[in-house]
Structure 1
């Protein structure tokens, strides 16, 4: 029986770990705040007090933590996974993180006869709850095939994008597309209101045309309803855009739309909205 370690029981991680439990896997969990893991513990997961204990116990370890520096600490720190896991362990980092850090973790794992994949996700809290996340994977094909049954318990659109770091590069593409789309959705709804239209009717019409997107169909109605609860935090989106801008700079690529979106989200965070959902950008257009 494969023992799966799951590190990071947050908005996404709670649902993802729960799906693995329902599938019959033995799941051990660690989170910096134990209270956030109570639901999955009550559902059958076993609590571990440290990352080191997870490393020593699990066969496959999934991480979905906050920031690249958290990923680095969890994997490369003195009490981290790579220092204490057994040979043959599979690591799957599902955090949105740096492509270069993903490649570094892969190299360090390979030296220790371990396997590492970077596999960030898209689909938000709804996709996590419904086990239909898009999973973007970087790493060796044999490792991908070995853990594919695990991926299939959490997502639907699961594609190996290339070697180490390719999953993270793909997620950067995803976040770039979302960043500028969110500006357009906010502007379209605000325009509809200023023009005396019903924004609900406008959305019903344009979401079936060329303007259609997840942001328009799912987050647009939330903006109109004044629902700014996080499916994905503003602060984490700023983190993702920062990674994307840095990666683009390394590639010699200009991304003016992404730069503008990041500046606007930073303004939103400065206004006290860093823990709101990304749809809270709409508030800037109402001020």
Structure 2
């Protein structure tokens, strides 16, 4: 079994690493705080103090971090993973990143003789915990096939969308669609509340209606009940992804007025202190702007 290094043990990374270890791959883990590695270390994972140390001797190195800056740091800094990897090692970036950075990352990997894959994650923290994530990948076919045995440890479906960067582009498209659905859901619920409708019935109607979707069905209960502490995807990270999506539209010359408006709603949510709550908490932005009943 190839040795695997994991960089980042957040909501998604921890579950992925646990499932990789359960699949009998020896793993080394790095995280900014060692406390998040406690369960993995008790299961037999090895700890590394830096990404470079984690990557030394690994055949596959997987990053699951927050944004462009964090990705750049774990791969390219003096103690970054690239400094510890030998030529031929497979580098896998699972974070949702900008096209500008993921393009640079692939270039840097190729220059150093590494094989690189962008494989953003599709699914919730439950999917990460149960090993049932979906992966939509940007990579050369031969590289993906070499990495497939490791990726299968934490995913149920692996689809190659095209050459390097393709997975990252599609992840931004997917998340911008999900965010606009959440923005519409927040406005719909606020309107129904203001009209005095039976909100339990409204939640059922929305879930089963023609305008529903997996995103809407999974979040309508949170929005109606105003329960946002069980965080599957934080509002601040959805805001970040929308920012990258707007940038992508600008780079490709595609006008994105709906996405830009949704980004502004999430930006206001961050400004209002909702960033660490579940992304469905953006509904509170609309509620707070709704005029009180006369």
**Same fold? TM cut 0.5:** yes
**TM-score band (shorter)?**
over 0.9
Which whole-Å deviations, capped at 9, do the CAs of 1:106-131 have from their partners, x for residues lacking one? 22222332101011112121222232
Which whole-Å deviations, capped at 9, do the CAs of 1:28-82 have from their partners, x for residues lacking one? 1000111122122222211111111112121101101111011112222222222
Mean Cα deviation higher: 35-44 or 196-205: 196-205
Mean Cα deviation higher: 133-142 or 101-110: 101-110
Rounded to whole Å, the distance in 1 between the matches of 2:185 and 2:36 is 32
Query: Residue 79 of structure 2: SS of its match in structure 1?
Result: coil
Q: Confirm whether residue 153 of structure 1 aligns to residue 164 of structure 2.
A: no
Rate the CA distance shift 1:23–1:200 in 2: closer, same or farther, 3 A: farther
1:201-212 alignment to 2 at 5 Å?
201-212=201-212
Q: What is the aligned partner in structure 1 of residue 224 from structure 2?
A: 224
Q: What is the aligned partner in structure 2 of residue 117 from structure 1?
A: 117
Query: Residue 227 of structure 1: SS of its match in structure 2?
Result: coil
CA RMSD of aligned residues (A): 1.5
Q: Confirm whether residue 51 of structure 1 aligns to residue 51 of structure 2.
A: yes
Rounded to whole Å, the distance in 2 between the matches of 1:245 and 1:76 is 26
Residue pair 1:100, 1:165 contacting (<8 A) in 2 also: no
Q: What is the aligned partner in structure 1 of residue 128 from structure 2?
A: 128
Q: What is the aligned partner in structure 1 of residue 235 from structure 2?
A: 234
Rounded to whole Å, the distance in 2 between the matches of 1:95 and 1:188 is 31
Query: Residue 259 of structure 1: SS of its match in structure 2?
Result: helix
Q: What is the aligned partner in structure 2 of residue 139 from structure 1?
A: 139
Quote how far apart the aligned CAs of 1:182 are.
0.6
Residue pair 1:118, 1:137 contacting (<8 A) in 2 also: yes
Q: What is the aligned partner in structure 2 of residue 80 from structure 1?
A: 80
Mean Cα deviation higher: 197-206 or 108-117: 197-206
Following TM superposition, the consecutive aligned residue runs of length 4 or more in structure 1 with deviations greater than 4 angstroms are: none
Rate the CA distance shift 1:242–1:146 in 2: closer, same or farther, 3 A: same
Q: What is the aligned partner in structure 2 of residue 66 from structure 1?
A: 66
Q: What is the aligned partner in structure 2 of residue 93 from structure 1?
A: 93
Residue pair 1:185, 1:215 contacting (<8 A) in 2 also: no
Rounded to whole Å, the distance in 2 between the matches of 1:190 and 1:125 is 28
Number of residue pairs matched by the alignment: 287
Residue pair 2:47, 2:54 contacting (<8 A) in 1 also: no
Query: Residue 272 of structure 2: SS of its match in structure 1?
Result: helix
Query: Residue 248 of structure 1: SS of its match in structure 2?
Result: helix
Query: Residue 161 of structure 1: SS of its match in structure 2?
Result: strand
Quote how far apart the aligned CAs of 1:209 are.
3.5
Q: What is the aligned partner in structure 2 of residue 268 from structure 1?
A: 269
Q: What is the aligned partner in structure 2 of residue 285 from structure 1?
A: 286
Quote how far apart the aligned CAs of 1:253 are.
0.9
Q: Which residues of structure 1 form unaligned runs of 5+?
A: none
Query: Residue 275 of structure 1: SS of its match in structure 2?
Result: coil
Query: Residue 273 of structure 1: SS of its match in structure 2?
Result: coil
Rounded to whole Å, the distance in 2 between the matches of 1:138 and 1:228 is 33
Residue pair 2:176, 2:241 contacting (<8 A) in 1 also: no
1:150-229 alignment to 2 at 5 Å?
150-229=150-229
Rounded to whole Å, the distance in 2 between the matches of 1:199 and 1:215 is 19
Which whole-Å deviations, capped at 9, do the CAs of 1:113-172 have from their partners, x for residues lacking one? 210101111212122223222212111111111111222222223211111111110001
